[in-house]
Structure 1
C-alpha cells in the first residue's frame, strides 16, 4: 500500500513539472476571465481578410487571404506587423513589438524602439496569419473596473475599441467592444463536484464492477473536453489528455477485475489534471473554450468530482484488501 501511494505521488510530480509552463496556454491565454472581448467588424469590407478574437480575448488573429500586404499599426500609428503572402513580419523598431510580448504589457522596451524610426522588419512566421496581444482590446488594470465594484451582479460595457489596419494607403479599422461580466455561482459548481464525488464513492463501495463503467464514462468526457480545447488552439492540454486516457484505461481494467490501485491512480490523475487544474472556470464568466460556458464547467465538474470519487474508492478498496497484521502472541 505504501509503495502504491509513493508511486502515485511520484507520478503526480512528474506530470506537474511539465504542466507548469503550459499554464500560459500559448501567449498567456487565460483559462477563464471576467472580460469579454468581441470584434464587431471592419469599418469597410476587405475581401480575403479575416480578423477575430481568440483565446478568451487574450489575442487577435488576422488571416490575410487578400493576395497583398496587410499592416497592423502600433499604438502610435507606426507599422507594427506586416502580414504578407509569403509570411508575417514584425517591425522591431515598434514599441508594440515588445509591449505585446505579455498579456500584462510589462515587457521592457529597448531604447531603439522608436515609432518614428524607419521600420526594421524581421520575419516571424512563414504563414500569412498572425496572433498578437493588443492592449487596445484589454482591461489593463489589475483592479476591476469601477462599474463592476459598484454593481457586481450585472454586466457592464467598458468601452468600444479600435485597432487600425492598413492595406496600401487605405486605413481600415477593426472595431469591437470590451465588456465586464459577473462571475457564475462558483459555490454551486463546487457543491456539485462534492456531491458527485460522494455519489461515485457510494457506487464504488456497493457495485464493484459498476465503478469501472463510471471511470470509463468520466474519462471519456474529460478526454473529449481536453481534445476539443486542443484542436481549437488552446495549448497545454497534454496533462489533461493523459489523465483522462489513464482514467479510461483504469476503468477498463477495473471491469476486468484488476487491482484497485489502478482506480486510485486514474481517479487521482483525473481529478488533479483534468479537474482541479481547470477549476478557474467555476469563478469567471468568459472561458477559453469554443462552446457555451456551462459545457466547460460541467466537464470540469465531472473530472473533479468523479475523479475524486474514483480515487477514494480505489484507496478504500486497497485498504480493505490489505492482509490483517500477524499477531505476535503465541
Structure 2
C-alpha cells in the first residue's frame, strides 16, 4: 500500500506537469515569429498581377504564391537569384546563393560555404523543391535581426514604425519589388505570465518537499514493516 508521502507527491504531480508544460510553451515559440512586431506587406505593384505575398506568424516568414502565368525570381542579399517560382508551379532554390544558407535561421547564423561567399555572382545551382507554385522563406530584410527591442522604439506601449523594407524580384524578366513596413506593436494582452508560472512551480516543489519532511518526522517513531519503507 503506498505510503502517505508518496500519495501526497502523487497528488501534486499533475499540477507540476501542467506548470512545466505552460512554462515550456513560450520557450518553444521563441523559435517562431516575435509577437511584439508586425511586418506588413504594402500595395503590390501591377507587375505582380496574379502573385500574392503574405507575412506568416507576425514577422517570421514570407510566402509567395505565383498564379500569374509568368516566372518569378526572388533575389537574395547580393541581388543574386535566390529562389524561383515558375509559371508552371515549379519551385526551386539556388544553392549558390548566400540567402540559401542564411535564410535557414531567423537570425542568419548559418555558416555560408566559402566558395559561395567568395563568388556571389556564380551561375545558379537550382534545386527543385516542389511544384505547388508556393514558396515560404525567412527574409532578413523584413524583420528585426535581434532578440531585443529595436532602438526606434522609445516607448514600448506605443505602436512604432521600425523601418520600411523591400525585397527585389523579377517577374517575367521585369524587375520589381515587394515592399512593406515593420512595426513594433508591443506585448498584446500583457504577454505570457512566465514569472507567475515559475513561481507556481517553485511553490509546488516546496510543498512537495515539506510534505515529505513532515511525514517522515511524524513517522520516525512508527514501527512499520520494512517492506513499506521508501
Q: Distance in 1 between matches of 2:92 and 2:64?
A: 13
Q: Distance in 2 between matches of 1:185 and 1:11?
A: 25
Q: Distance in 2 between matches of 1:51 and 1:37?
A: 12
Select which of 100, 105, 113 maps to 1:102. Answer: 105
2:133 alignment counterpart: 128
Q: In 2, are the aligned partners of 1:38 and 1:176 still within 8 Å (CA)?
A: yes
1:299 alignment counterpart: none
Q: In 2, are the aligned partners of 1:71 and 1:166 still within 8 Å (CA)?
A: yes
Q: In 2, are the aligned partners of 1:44 and 1:172 still within 8 Å (CA)?
A: no
2:172 maps to 1:168 = yes
Question: TM-score under structure 1 normalisation?
Answer: 0.50
Q: Distance in 1 between matches of 2:144 and 2:17?
A: 39
Q: In 1, are the aligned partners of 2:44 and 2:178 still within 8 Å (CA)?
A: yes
Question: TM-score under structure 2 normalisation?
Answer: 0.69
2:53 alignment counterpart: 51
Residue 7 of structure 1: how far off its partner (Å) = 6.7
Distance 1:11 1:147, change over 3 A: closer
Residue 77 of structure 1: how far off its partner (Å) = 0.9
Q: In 2, are the aligned partners of 1:98 and 1:107 still within 8 Å (CA)?
A: yes
Aligned alpha-carbon RMSD (Å): 3.7
2:37 maps to 1:35 = yes
Q: Deviations over 1:295-328 (max 9, x none)?
A: xxxxxxxxx9xxx9xxx9xxxxxxxxxxxxxxx8
Where do residues 110-121 of structure 1 align in structure 2 (5 Å cutoff)? Answer: 110-113=113-116, 114-121=119-126
Residue 6 of structure 1: how far off its partner (Å) = 8.0
Distance 1:124 1:33, change over 3 A: same
SS class of match (1:112): helix
Q: Which runs of 5+ in 1 are unaligned?
A: 190-278, 284-303, 313-327
Q: Deviations over 1:89-129 (max 9, x none)?
A: 00000000011111111111111223200000011223210
1:181 alignment counterpart: 185
SS class of match (2:141): helix
Q: In 1, are the aligned partners of 2:94 and 2:125 still within 8 Å (CA)?
A: yes
Q: Distance in 2 between matches of 1:184 and 1:7?
A: 31
User: In proportion to residue count, which structure has more strand?
Assistant: 2
Residue 182 of structure 1: how far off its partner (Å) = 3.1
Q: Which runs of 5+ in 2 are unaligned?
A: 1-6, 205-221, 223-230
Q: Distance in 2 between matches of 1:12 and 1:145?
A: 34
Q: Which has the higher contact order (CA 8 A, sep 6+)?
A: 2
Where do residues 1-330 of structure 1 align in structure 2 (5 Å cutoff)? Answer: 1-2=7-8, 4-5=10-11, 8=14, 23=28, 28-30=31-33, 32-84=34-86, 85-113=88-116, 114-148=119-153, 150-184=154-188, 186=190, 279=192
Q: In 2, are the aligned partners of 1:37 and 1:53 still within 8 Å (CA)?
A: yes
Structure 1 window deviating more from structure 2 (106-115 vs 136-145): it is 136-145
SS class of match (1:161): strand
Distance 1:123 1:143, change over 3 A: same
**Which structure's CA Rg is the greater one?**
2
- Aligned residue pairs, count: 193
SS class of match (1:179): strand
Q: In 2, are the aligned partners of 1:88 and 1:127 still within 8 Å (CA)?
A: yes
Q: Distance in 1 between matches of 2:14 and 2:51?
A: 50
